């Protein structure tokens, strides 16, 4: 497994852990509509993670792969929405996990695009 793939697998693990963290306060979300939207977004995130895992299993998890890039973007946007829906119950640690996930993905994409270290 090369370094880029290792970074992507770590991002997937962080995303999975964030999903688990966000599931816990679901009962505390004030409105039923927000709770339902949170459930939907967590399901979408887990589906994106399953598709990325499938790519990993077939040794196709590469940051240069446009489909992998699209799945990670979808995963990130979905998690941003999930955090929004549980905004009143999320703690700082979970939010920091989201920010580090976003930072890692952006870093991987910019390195792949040839921008190197900023």
In-domain check, residue 19: yes
* pLDDT in single tens digits along all 118 residues of the chain: 777 788 899 999 999 999 999 888 666 777 888 889 999 999 999 999 999 999 999 999 998 899 999 999 999 999 999 999 988 888 898 899 899 888 888 888 777 655 444 4
Return the CATH number at 45. Answer: 1.20.120
pLDDT of residue 117: 47
In this structure, what DSSP letter does residue 1 have? Answer: -
pLDDT of residue 115: 47
b/e for 63-81, b at 16 or more Cβ within 10 A? beeeebbebbebbbebbeb
In-domain check, residue 117: no
What is the extent of the structural domain holding 104? 3-112
In-domain check, residue 28: yes
pLDDT of residue 29: 74
Other beta carbons less than 10 A from residue 91's beta carbon: 10
In-domain check, residue 103: yes
In-domain check, residue 100: yes
Token readout for 30 is 């004030």
Number of structural domains the chain divides into: 1
In-domain check, residue 49: yes
- Cα–Cα distance for residue pair 60/2, rounded to 1 Å: 12
Tell me what percent of the chain is helix, strand and coil, each rounded to the nearest 5: 80, 0, 20
């Amino acid at each position: 497994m090369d370094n880029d793939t290792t970074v992507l697998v770590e991002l997937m693990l962080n995303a999975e852990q964030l999903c688990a963290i966000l599931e816990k306060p679901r009962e505390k979300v004030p409105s039923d509509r927000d709770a339902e939207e949170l459930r939907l977004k967590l399901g979408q995130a887990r589906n994106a993670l399953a598709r990325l895992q499938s790519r990993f299993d077939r040794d196709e998890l590469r940051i240069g792969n446009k489909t992998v890039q699209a799945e990670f973007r979808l995963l990130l946007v979905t998690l941003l929405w999930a955090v929004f829906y549980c905004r009143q119950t999320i703690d700082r640690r979970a939010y920091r996990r989201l920010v580090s996930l976003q930072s890692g993905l952006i870093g991987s994409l910019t390195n792949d695009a040839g921008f190197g270290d900023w």
